[in-house]
Structures are given as C-alpha cells and as structure tokens.
C-alpha cells in the first residue's frame, strides 16, 4: 500500500487556515459539516479552492488533534 506524500509544514498551515475560514463560513450558512465533505459541491467555501481534498483532509486531522476543530454533531436518525 502506497502512502500519500507528506505535505510540507507551511502548506499544511495554509490549508489549516483555509479550513478554519471554511468552517466559519459553513457555520454561518447553517451547515454543520466538515469542510472536506463539501469539496466540489456548490456550497464549497472559496477558501478551499486552492487546496486538494487530501490537503484539506490532512489539515482537518491536524486541527482536530490540536483541539481547534470539532467534529460536527451527529443528528439522531428518524427525528
């Protein structure tokens, strides 16, 4: 199994900044989702346009580990 390439630290920080901006934008729009889940969708925040899905996903993992991003709340099914 081939590993994904390592993202340079500066690029990871840039992607992390974009993820935080995108999360704020999604929150203002009433969407409770991780930014990577809207990549390629019409609702994709502009801040993510310069990053790959992999970079955004890795930035989310980094921010989750740092406690700077929280997973979206799970909605109960059937409600």
- Output the pLDDT for position 1: 62
pLDDT in tens, 8-36: 999 999 999 999 999 999 988 888 889 99
Query: Could you state, in order of their start, the residue ranges of all structural domains in the chain?
Result: 9-66
The most distant pair of C-alpha atoms in the chain lies apart, rounded to whole Å, by 43
Alpha-carbon span 77 to 22, nearest angstrom: 26
Confidence (pTM): 0.84
- Output the pLDDT for position 79: 46
Asked if residue 38 has pLDDT above 50, the reply is: yes
Angle among Cα 37, 52, 64 to the nearest 5 degrees reads 55
Q: What is the dihedral of CA 42, 45, 48, 49, to 10 degrees?
A: 50
């Amino acid at each position: 199994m081939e590993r994904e390439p390592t993202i340079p630290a500066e690029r990871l920080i840039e992607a992390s900044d974009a993820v935080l901006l995108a999360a704020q934008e999604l929150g203002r729009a009433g969407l409770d989702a991780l930014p990577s889940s809207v990549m390629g969708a019409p609702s994709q925040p502009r801040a993510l346009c310069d990053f790959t899905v992999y970079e955004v996903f890795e930035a989310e993992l980094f921010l989750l580990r740092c406690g700077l991003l929280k997973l979206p709340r799970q909605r109960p099914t059937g409600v």
